[in-house]
A and B are shown apart, each in its own frame.
Chain A
Amino acid sequence: MSTAVDDELWSAIGDPIRRTMIDLLLSDGPGAATSLSRRLPVTRQAVSKHLAVLDRVGLIHAAPAGRERHYQVDEAQLARAVAQLSAVGATWDARLRRIKRIAETIERHRTNNEGG
């Protein structure tokens, strides 16, 4: 796994406008820069730049459609980006389960001592 590519993938998905664009492309299906810019608070030029970033890391793919290019989300690549962060989250789940067990064991011992 290439770290440089993953860094780019991460920062590509880290931008809120780009995340909204991915959401729109997922909910509405493949779209062009013009139609996306109508739904976003940024210029068409800005949308084109964001699309280029997403394209470069493989999160979307372009296909010619008449005079425009239509962009489509690469769901496998998107799933991969999300899975990377989930892996880190899973280690916190394990840590928190331990915190819970330790705190509850201490609490039970203290209550028993007070009661008895």
Chain B
Amino acid sequence: MEQGTIERDIHVNASPEVVFEVVSQPEHMREWWPDDARFESVAGAPGELVWRDADTGETKTVALAVVEVDPPKRFSFRWCFTEPDRSGQALLVTFDLIPNGAGTQIRMTETGFRELGWEVAVLEEQYRDHENGWDHYMPRLGAYVARLVAIA
């Protein structure tokens, strides 16, 4: 394993177009990661990820910057910047989508840990999924997709 890089592959039974929407649109991202995601899916666009503490109501906002938007092949963004205003070092997350039969292979890489050190890795780990487990999540997903299909 290359220390300092996380690399993951997963096969999805959905077209690259659908997968691209899910990884690159903020309204989808907040279903799989933070409590809120605000950004335009355009290269260079600034954005924010928001986590909300369910008990205290306190929020934590983390800056993000969209790097590359190449539908339906690649979406990448930077986050965990070391300096204000999205400058300095940052972690780079890239989703590469490869057609695979009727579905899509997602290759996710997150790089920059070696440059940023362990402190940022701890931080990254703290921004875990806003909910743990599918028990809580699945009922919401049904309603969410129903809304989505109604709009389409």
Residues of chain A whose beta carbon lies under 8 Å from any beta carbon of chain B: 3, 6-7, 9-11, 13-14, 19, 81-82, 84-85, 87-89, 91-107, 109-110, 113
Contacts and interface: CB of A to CB of B under 8 A. Distances in A.
A7 B125 contact: no
B55 interface: no
Contact of B6 (A19, A85, A97, A104): A85
Given A3-B119, A99-B12, A101-B141, 20 more contacts: A6-B117, A7-B117, A7-B119, A10-B3, A84-B118, A89-B6, A91-B129, A92-B108, A95-B32, A98-B31, A99-B19, A99-B106, A103-B12, A103-B19, A103-B22, A103-B104, A106-B21, A106-B22, A109-B149, A113-B149
A92 to B, nearest CB: 5
B28 A102 contact: yes
A98 B18 contact: no
A81 B13 CA distance: 35
Given A84-B118, A88-B121, A92-B110, A102 B22 contact: yes
B54 interface: no
Contacts of A87: 125
Contacts of B1: 82, 85
A111 to B, nearest CB: 10
A100 B149 contact: no
Contacts of B33: 95, 98
Contacts of A14: 3-4, 114
A105 to B, nearest CB: 5
A100 B117 contact: no
B33 to A, nearest CB: 6
Contacts of B52: none
A110 B22 CA distance: 14
A13 B121 contact: no
A91 B8 contact: no
Contacts of B122: 3
B124 A88 contact: yes
A113 B152 CA distance: 10
23 contacts: A14-B3, A19-B3, A84-B118, A84-B121, A85-B4, A87-B125, A88-B110, A89-B8, A91-B128, A93-B8, A96-B10, A96-B108, A98-B31, A98-B137, A100-B10, A100-B11, A101-B141, A102-B145, A103-B18, A104-B12, A106-B18, A106-B22, A110-B18
